Amino acid sequence: MQPLNARTTSAMSKVRQVRTTPEERVAKVLRELGKAYRRNVRNLPGKPDFANRSKGWVVQVHGCFWHHHDCKRGTVPVNNREEWLVKFAANRVRDQRVEADLRGIGFEVVTVWECETRHHAALVERLINLR
């Protein structure tokens, strides 16, 4: 599937809205670097956000809240704090397992945090060496 163009029908612009801004920033940089990719690849572990099967790489974009990044966005809600901590811990364990599974079948895995997508040059740096 090709990435969606910004000029779309109204039906397609609804599809675009479900995609988060951090993912769009990563897509833009991958295009700038000429790295071909598929999005939301179902038949790979963890349904990676971006992948190139033949080159053997995956780029995961992790939201800082849901994946509990160690940054100012990785907050814990005051209400039901214990339940959130359990949920975040489970998310982190799942992230690690997915990454291990992908590496196990020979994929290079790059994890990009939501907060990192705000720095274009740094994002280029992270992605430029993909195979």
Query: Which residues make up the interface to Zn ion (CB under 5 A)?
Result: 64, 69, 71, 73, 113, 115
Question: Of all helices (H) and strands (E), which one includes residue 85?
Answer: helix 81-104
Nearer to Zn ion, 39 or 67 (CB): 67
Residue of 106, 127, 101, 98 whose CA lies nearest to 53: 106
Nearer to Zn ion, 64 or 123 (CB): 64
Tokens of 130: 């993909």
Shortest reach from residue 65's CB to Zn ion, in Å: 9
Shortest reach from residue 71's CB to Zn ion, in Å: 3
Shortest reach from residue 61's CB to Zn ion, in Å: 11
Shortest reach from residue 74's CB to Zn ion, in Å: 6
Nearer to Zn ion, 73 or 119 (CB): 73
Nearer to Zn ion, 15 or 77 (CB): 77
Q: How far is Cα of residue 80 from the mean position of the Cα atoms in its chain?
A: 27
The span from the CA of 127 to the CA of 26, in Å, is 9
- Following DSSP, what letter does each residue of 89-126 receive, concatenated? HHHHHHHHHHHHHHHHTT-EEEEEEGGGGG-HHHHHHH
